[in-house]
Structure 1
Amino acid sequence: MARAAEIVTGISSAELAVPAVPKIEIKDLSKIYNGRNGDVVALQNTNLTINENEFVCVVGPSGCGKTTLLNIIAGLEHASSGSVTVDGKEVKGPGKERGVVFQQYALFPWKTVLKNVEFGLKLRGYSKAERRERAEHYIEMVGLKDFAQAYPKELSGGMKQRVAIARAYAVQPEVLLMDEPFGALDAQTRAQLQEELLNTWQSEKRTCFFITHDVEEAVILAQKVIVMSARPGRIKEIINVDIPYPRNQATKLDERFIQIKNEIWEKVYREYMEYKK
């Protein structure tokens, strides 16, 4: 049988036997904060596997450890126990293969859009010509070509977030970590950026780990939605979103979309009520 597979596929039986290494693997992860009023267990025995180019959204009640989990994957915080690996290598700090986009845009107010997007490239030693070419490409990709010389104070909230996304993409991270990047935006801008992010993800191919409080946003974006439990945070359930791409705002009217959204909302609300007890 193995020989037959080798003949048909051109892949040796030894290669067939080797499982693919997950892009991100979280094993028995726990995080305890030591406070003046005692220890707070933010994460407890958390386990999760994310494959290459997979789009995963994480939802759950406030305080369930979503941002803590993202920060540990990013290397911005250390776990109390357990491990996080990216491509089989343990995360011990920030790395160029991981880019982060926060809810707060964190743009340099004294730099233009172009210079903000170029910033990470400059730190990595790209030449002036390379920085400009790559920055202009991603600025155009997020629809801000005409604002390359504008300063952050001249931009709307949605435009600032596009700059932050362009800056993250410009350094070409393999993993994009996003912590409620659209949370502070109005509904129309949020919907527009959801579609733009999906278009960018489909064309650029990155592994995306996206935190949101908005169940509808999770379902429109993700291939998998991770529901976390109330504190201490654990992976309560993983829901596959079996809705084909490309998706857009019209997808939200689809019967299957509504069914999945309601299913996830019920689980999140149940965890929220547990948290309130």
Structure 2
Amino acid sequence: MAGSTPVVTKVADSGQQAAAPAKIEINGLSKVYKGRNGDVIALQNTDLTIRQNEFVCVVGPSGCGKTTLLNIIGGLEKATSGSVKVDGKEVTGPGKERGVVFQQYALFPWKTVLKNVEFGLKLRGLGKQERKEKAESYLEMVGLKDFADSYPKELSGGMKQRVAIARAYAVQPEVLLMDEPFGALDAQTRAQLQEDLLRTWQKEKKTCFFITHDVEEAVILAQRVIIMSARPGRIKEIIEVDIPYPRDQGTKLDPRFVEIKNEIWSKVYKEYLEVSK
């Protein structure tokens, strides 16, 4: 891994995770954008392996290529060089095995909550009754079954994001890509959705790639935290979070949590200072 020295600590399920097969393999990935004032290198020679069912969070200063990396994994952007493989197959575009949740909810305002969650199931050809039952089950999972007939304009921000998560889960992707999905929410709603997401992840066993600017959020969620450097974006360091699941907001009071959070924050802030020079 170019320019990085991973930090290795023991995690509660480290043996199981180390034995898990690779789900996402990123090799020599670079992305260069053409601009009026010259080329902008968003990602440079990035290597990373994410294991099956692993929860990984990515942190780093603004402009370090986090979202670009997610978009390439999701098949929404093309790399300039290098490759991304999911289950050994090279990513060349969007695929049903990968679901994406963005910071903006991207719900259809003219569709009910239920119809929003059904949308991807309809595209996959499921019959009316089957997709209704699946959509209802995932709305129940995120605590919104009673709002199935509501419209997005009638929901709070946190409820809209729950709908977006239910919609992503309903099509049963093997990989869930999340780009700051809780970034626009108030602290209380954010904390609740963190716990909801962890419970869902432990139940559904997805591979999660989660981008956040919030170091505390990264530590409460992830098995590993990926720290990216200031532009050009590279993986600077990987920190393993050796705090057992299940985790909740009380975990944030654990001395080990505070220690890991401070370690990551100091490294991210150092990269932020590089950007500010």
Shared fold per TM-score greater than 0.5: yes
Deviation at residue 119 of structure 1 after TM alignment: 0.1
- Look up the match of 1:86: 86
RMSD: 0.8
Aligned residue for 2:99, secondary structure, equals strand
- Look up the match of 2:8: none
Deviation at residue 20 of structure 1 after TM alignment: 6.4
Deviation at residue 21 of structure 1 after TM alignment: 4.5
Pair 1:42-2:42 in alignment: yes
Radius of gyration: which is bigger? Answer: 1
- Look up the match of 2:204: 204
- Look up the match of 1:23: 23
Contact 1:139 1:163 survives alignment (8 Å): yes
Deviation at residue 155 of structure 1 after TM alignment: 0.1
Long gaps (5+) in structure 1: 1-18
Pair 1:233-2:229 in alignment: no
Q: In structure 1, what residue type is equivalent to 2:239?
A: I
Segments of 4+ moved more than 6 angstroms: none
Contact 2:20 2:52 survives alignment (8 Å): no
Alpha-carbon distance in structure 2 between the residues aligned to 1:262 and 1:63: 22
- Normalising by structure 1, what TM-score? 0.93
- Look up the match of 1:5: none
| Deviation digits for residues 83-138 of structure 1 (CA, Å, limit 9, x no counterpart) | 00000000000000000000000000000000000000000000111100100000
Alpha-carbon distance in structure 2 between the residues aligned to 1:78 and 1:91: 9
Map 1:117-128 to 2 at 5 A.
Answer: 117-128=117-128
Contact 1:31 1:81 survives alignment (8 Å): yes
- Look up the match of 2:11: none
Q: How many residues align?
A: 259
| Deviation digits for residues 167-190 of structure 1 (CA, Å, limit 9, x no counterpart) | 000000000000000000000000
Aligned residue for 2:22, secondary structure, equals coil
Q: Which has the higher contact order (CA 8 A, sep 6+)?
A: 2
- Normalising by structure 2, what TM-score? 0.93
- Look up the match of 1:77: 77
- Look up the match of 1:6: none
| Deviation digits for residues 236-270 of structure 1 (CA, Å, limit 9, x no counterpart) | 00000000000000000000000000000000000
Q: In structure 1, what residue type is equivalent to 2:81?
A: S
Contact 1:21 1:88 survives alignment (8 Å): no
Long gaps (5+) in structure 2: 1-18
